[in-house]
Amino acid sequence: MSRPSRTSAELCGQAVRMVAEMPSSDESEYAAIIVVAQRLGIGTAETLRT
């Protein structure tokens, strides 16, 4: 069983929308996740990815 998320559902939803709306340039989806995590002040990109 995984532990409960400390990130609110609203923040998660916003992050998902931001990653989906990133322009699809030569960068990978993970690169977009890194940028969004930094913009939202989320600890690491891995936190956002999961």
- Give the pLDDT confidence score for residue 5 in this predicted structure: 63
What does the pLDDT look like over 27-47, one tens digit per residue?
788 899 999 999 998 888 888
Residue 17 lies in a domain: yes
Q: How many domains does the chain have?
A: 1
SS (H, E, C) 1-50: CCCCCCCCHHHHHHHHHHHHHCCCCCCCHHHHHHHHHHHHCCCCHHHHHC
**Does any domain span residue 27?**
yes
Range of the domain at 29: 9-49
Cβ-Cβ contacts under 8 Å for 39 (sequence gap 6 or more):
18
Tell me, what's the pLDDT at 4? 61
Q: Is residue 4 part of a domain?
A: no
**Residue 44 placed within a domain:** yes
1 assigned to some structural domain? no
